[in-house]
Amino acid sequence: MSVGIGLDLLDIDRLERALARRPGLADRLFTAGEQAYAARRARPGQHLAARFCAKEAVTKALSLDVFRPLEIEVRGGGSAEVGIMLSGETAKAAAARGLDVRVSLTHTPTTAGAVAIAHEAPSPELEGSA
């Protein structure tokens, strides 16, 4: 059952300008894996913007009071399924509420967006019993 939804949109140029002005910003917002994924693309800022939106959307879907971008890692993309790996306080908050989260990313040449849905995590005793 879904218990939370988050949506975020971002102008890609805005993020690209911010990253150019502040060289350390990428390390405060994105994991090494996310940065490596984006660096392999023709327009890295487009992919980083979608990942930033996913982090914001996850924060909203989980109803978190604090945005901790490095504790929300977006994995995969392109032809691979996109997944979310939570860590730290963000993972603890989701686990305490028994929640898991799924995301969908999108972008145009100018705008990136993401939707996140928080849902009840499968019960450990039910895993593998299908």
Using an 8 Å Cβ cutoff, are 16 and 45 in contact? yes
- CA dist 14 and 90 (Å) reads 26
Query: Which two tokens mark 85?
Result: 């790996």
Q: For residue 35, with 0-12 CB atoms within 10 Å meaning exposed, 13-18 middle and 19 or more buried, which class applies?
A: middle
120 among annotated binding-site residues: no
8 among annotated binding-site residues: yes
What DSSP string describes 26-94?
HHHHS-HHHHHHHHTSSSHHHHHHHHHHHHHHHHHHTT-SS--GGGEEEE--TTSPPEEEE-HHHHHHH
Using an 8 Å Cβ cutoff, are 62 and 94 in contact? yes
List, as residue ranges, the binding site for Mg(2+).
8, 56
List, as residue ranges, the binding site.
8, 56
